Homo-oligomer: A and B are copies of this chain.
Amino acid sequence: MHEFDDDTKVEPSGEGLWRGTVTDRWNIGRAPNGGYLLAIGLAALERALPHPHPVTATAHYLRRTEPGGVDIEVETVRRGTSLSTGQAKLVQEGRERVRLLATYRDLSSLQGATAVSVSPPELPAPDQLPSSARAPGLPTVAERFDLRLTPGSVSWALGARSGVAEVQGWVRFADGREPDVRSLAVFADAMPPAVMNIVEAGWVPTIELTVQVRGIPASGWLSCRFSTRFLIGGYLEEDGEVWDSRGRLVALSRQLARVNPPRLSRA
């Protein structure tokens, strides 16, 4: 079994109740990555709802989640013919840590019009970009991915901030697991924060993350583009696009996050 599947596995433990384990393999400092927690919640919702794919999923991060057991309380909000909606609470020690709201459908049956006005990021081939796995000082979560970012994406780590809050590159799981709809939530939060190319930041905790899944990814590398346009009073959005190896957009993400000063980075 691959890391992602092992670490997002949930088992039924009662009526509308699921049990999983938050591992420390997806941590940034002491806190698990937000996309990873979203993926755990979606793993439970997926088994409770009649449709397979989350076309839009929102998570609000209420309190720090700790590595260890987690209860996922699932509510089926609506079962419809083409769409269904569910809610999930991630609870540890009786305290809710994350709340999710998501609407599902079957993406293999889309039949309406298609018109896409932008192209995937233009990137050098993955083997022409350095593998981030070899960079020092990265959070634990970085070990889960093979990340091939453009040099400008991590200008802050290379000694001079570019002044452009954009991150672009390729990503796949480090252990060779192929991408699928279930894993897009974690790919939508896998890159270092784009905002670090414009300001010094200790960490950038996610307040809310919304992922729209728009297609079923083909196997192979995903290419991504993440950017921040509006950093206002320490709050920022990070908008993301995730494209599959055929050059089709498979996920759009937006998160609201906050820049915390560097001195808090070791808290």
Residues of A within 8 A of B (CB): 55-56, 58, 60, 62-63, 77-78, 80, 83, 85, 87, 96, 99, 101, 103, 107, 110-118, 164-165, 198-199, 207-208, 210, 212, 214-215, 229-235, 237, 249, 252, 254, 256, 258-259
What is the count of identical protomers in the complex?
Answer: 2
> Least Cβ distance of A232 to chain B in Å?
5
A30→B58 CA distance, assembly (Å): 28
When the two chains form their complex, are residues A58 and B207 in contact, meaning their CB atoms are under 8 A apart? no
Q: List 16 A-B contacts (CB under 8 A).
A: A55-B235, A55-B256, A56-B60, A58-B58, A62-B80, A78-B96, A107-B233, A111-B233, A111-B234, A113-B231, A113-B233, A114-B231, A212-B237, A214-B230, A252-B254, A254-B254
A115→B208 CA distance, assembly (Å): 20
> Least Cβ distance of A180 to chain B in Å?
17
Residue from A55, A62, A115, A258 whose CB has the most chain B CB atoms within 10 Å: A115
Closest to A209 in B: B56
A173→B212 CA distance, assembly (Å): 31
Which of chain B's residues have a CB closer than 8 A to the CB of A83?
207
